[in-house]
Chain A
Amino acid sequence: MKPVPVRDEESAPFFDGALRGELMLLRCPACRTFMSPTAYINTPLRPRCPACFAPEPEWAPSGGRATLYSFAIMHQLYDEAFAADIPYNLAVVETEEGVRLNSQVVGCDNELLEIGMPLEVIFDRVGDDVAIPRFRPAA
């Protein structure tokens, strides 16, 4: 079985948003700059705005539109649950708010992925009360 994310305190607004069909980002209350919830792997929620250094970023929904910034195709098997999916894509998208997120593109053959292609967010139910954002080619 594929891993199902377990919401914790800091990620709850993100996963609650995904269940509602909203892609939740952080936004600076001072300068209104949007930002990714975390800056890197295994880092906490951003405590400061990267543009103006103001504290206490707030959760705010993205419009859900993005472009494909880059993509990679995973061939290595780390977890049997993904065996049938190999090769599958992993992507970085840049949302219209200027935020880059690690995600996946669905509804498009890997061979047809193209940097810059317009995308829109969708939400996949992966558990009883868990949804995760992915992106598909924009209509």
Chain B
Amino acid sequence: MRGATTAIAGLGVTEMGKVYGRTASDFAGEAISLALADAGLAASDVDGLLVNGNHSEEMVPSLQFSLGFLDLTLVNVMSAFGATAATMLQCAADAIARGQANVVACVYADVPLREGGSASQSAYAGKQAPTGFAGLRSAYGDYGPANTMYALALRRHMHLYGTDHDQLGTIAVGQREWARMNPQAQMRKPMTLADYHASRWVVEPLHLFDCCLVSNGGVAVIVTSAERAADLRRPPVHLRGFGQCAPGDQARTGRDPAVHTGARTSGERALREAGIALEDVDLLELYDCYTYTVLVTLEDYGFCGKGEGGEFVADGKLGPGGSLPCNTGGGQLSSYYMWGFTPLAEGVIQARGEAGERQVEKHDHVLVSGNGGVLNFHSTAILGREAA
């Protein structure tokens, strides 16, 4: 099993949120620096750099130059939107297994928030030039296109299966409870189900508290061989299995990736490669751009049947003390929004057993998901305390 030979040896998470006056490259450099220090490695040890392509114009191959890395034997910018993180780990693991690189830095950084502006004025607002088909969406007032498209997906799920806001709110409340134990989380005020219901509509059926945060910051992980990781400062987090599935677009009849996501195929493949069953997964770090993403991902991984996600989460099993701990740092809803590096970072912390107050007792196998587009791209990584 290829995945058995590599591990995450270092994690770096910068200050997150409304942090202004810094570039994405600066955050990327700090995140990598923190991750190297965490691992007990130097910048000169790095021979691979993988960059998560995103809205920032700085997350490009020349980031290598800005950061001063020389003679890298693996460099690339990877992009499957929010599904990218696990695909980067996979690329790093494959390169290390083949001897192409030894120490690979994988990084995400962005500065979508501007000082004095709200999230709706951030890089995610999606106000478009009026030209061509983009102009058509603007003429309809279809701004913040991700919010709109996830609202459309959720409405469809509600229509088909009766999913309701008490169920979605339970996800948001559970994650806030986790976030309250995470010093790195942006949102640590208590939230009740009533608070959730009272939060304003953004695009109905999405309440404000169904939606993720927008954050400035950076996260990096260092991937190396399991053998080398064993000699470094921190407990290795083994890369046990990967999966991907990109179901395609939903602009034609008979295609419903917004309701039947790539999580099904991606999850099956990752678990098979890891050599474990769904029941062996101790905790979940699920990509949560919206509460709905968590719900539909649980269904497609097979934790419950299709359409049963609402009932499945309603008892609060995802929250602290529940039977299926999920998004234990607060996720993108309540901690910070660094695309797939939000669930990945918390997965590493939990797998190491270093989550402090919020540490999940059994943490042998952590499932980390990535989701991109409007449920068009999915990736899965299985992290393990042991190599096999």
- Given the complex, which residues of A lie within 8 Å of B250, measured CB to CB? 100
Cβ-defined partner of B125 (8 Å) among A8, A72, A78, A99: A78
The answer to whether A99 and B205 touch (CB under 8 A), given A5-B132, A8-B132, A115-B159, is no
The chain B residue sitting closest to A39, CB to CB, is B249
A85 touches B139 (CB 8 A): no
Report if B201 contacts A (CB, 8 A): yes
Report if B133 contacts A (CB, 8 A): yes
A78 touches B145 (CB 8 A): no
Measured in the bound complex, the distance between the Cα atoms of B254 and A103 in whole Å is 19
A14 touches B133 (CB 8 A): yes
Measured in the bound complex, the distance between the Cα atoms of B127 and A25 in whole Å is 25
- Type the 1/0 row for B227-265, where 1 means its CB is closer than 8 Å to any CB of A: 000000000000000000000111111100000000000
- Given the complex, which residues of B lie within 8 Å of A69, measured CB to CB? 152, 156
Looking at B128, B131, B133, B201, the one whose CB has the most chain A CB atoms below 10 A away is: B133
Interface residues of A in 34-73 (CB under 8 A from B): 35-42, 50, 69-73
Task: Tell me the minimal C-beta distance from B131 to chain A in angstroms.
Answer: 5
Measured in the bound complex, the distance between the Cα atoms of B149 and A92 in whole Å is 9
Cβ-defined partner of A3 (8 Å) among B138, B203, B205, B376: B138
B144 touches A78 (CB 8 A): yes
The answer to whether A100 and B253 touch (CB under 8 A), given A78-B120, A79-B141, A87-B201, is yes
Report if A19 contacts B (CB, 8 A): no
Interface of B: prevailing SS: mixed
Report if B373 contacts A (CB, 8 A): yes
- Type the 1/0 row for B119-137, where 1 means its CB is closer than 8 Å to any CB of A: 0100001111011111111
- Given the complex, which residues of B lie within 8 Å of A88, measured CB to CB? 141
The chain A residue sitting closest to B129, CB to CB, is A6
B252 touches A98 (CB 8 A): yes
Measured in the bound complex, the distance between the Cα atoms of B141 and A132 in whole Å is 12
Report if B140 contacts A (CB, 8 A): yes
Cβ-defined partner of B141 (8 Å) among A6, A8, A90: A90
Report if A20 contacts B (CB, 8 A): no
Report if B148 contacts A (CB, 8 A): yes
- Given the complex, which residues of A lie within 8 Å of B254, measured CB to CB? 98
B203 touches A73 (CB 8 A): yes
Measured in the bound complex, the distance between the Cα atoms of B123 and A136 in whole Å is 33
The answer to whether A90 and B251 touch (CB under 8 A), given A76-B120, A115-B155, is no
How many A-B contacts if CB must be within 8 Å?
Answer: 138
A103 touches B145 (CB 8 A): no
A40 touches B152 (CB 8 A): no
- Given the complex, which residues of B lie within 8 Å of A30, measured CB to CB? none
Report if B166 contacts A (CB, 8 A): no
Task: Tell me the minimal C-beta distance from B250 to chain A in angstroms.
Answer: 7
The chain B residue sitting closest to A85, CB to CB, is B141
Task: Tell me the minimal C-beta distance from A23 to chain B in angstroms.
Answer: 12
The chain A residue sitting closest to B376, CB to CB, is A40
Measured in the bound complex, the distance between the Cα atoms of B140 and A91 in whole Å is 10
Report if B92 contacts A (CB, 8 A): no
Report if A75 contacts B (CB, 8 A): yes
- Given the complex, which residues of A lie within 8 Å of B204, measured CB to CB? 72-75, 87
Measured in the bound complex, the distance between the Cα atoms of B153 and A132 in whole Å is 24
- Given the complex, which residues of B lie within 8 Å of A8, measured CB to CB? 131-132
The answer to whether A90 and B139 touch (CB under 8 A), given A76-B203, A100-B250, is no
The answer to whether A4 and B203 touch (CB under 8 A), given A36-B251, A99-B253, is no
B148 touches A74 (CB 8 A): yes
Measured in the bound complex, the distance between the Cα atoms of B131 and A26 in whole Å is 19
Q: A41-B145, A74-B203, A99-B253 given. 10 additional CB < 8 A pairs?
A: A6-B132, A36-B251, A40-B251, A70-B156, A70-B159, A75-B200, A78-B144, A90-B140, A91-B152, A102-B137
- Which 6 residue pairs across A and B have the least CB separation, nearest first? A5-B135, A98-B253, A72-B151, A78-B143, A73-B204, A3-B138
Give 7 pairs: A residue, B residue, CB < 8 Å, sorted on A: A69-B152, A70-B155, A70-B156, A70-B159, A76-B120, A90-B148, A115-B159
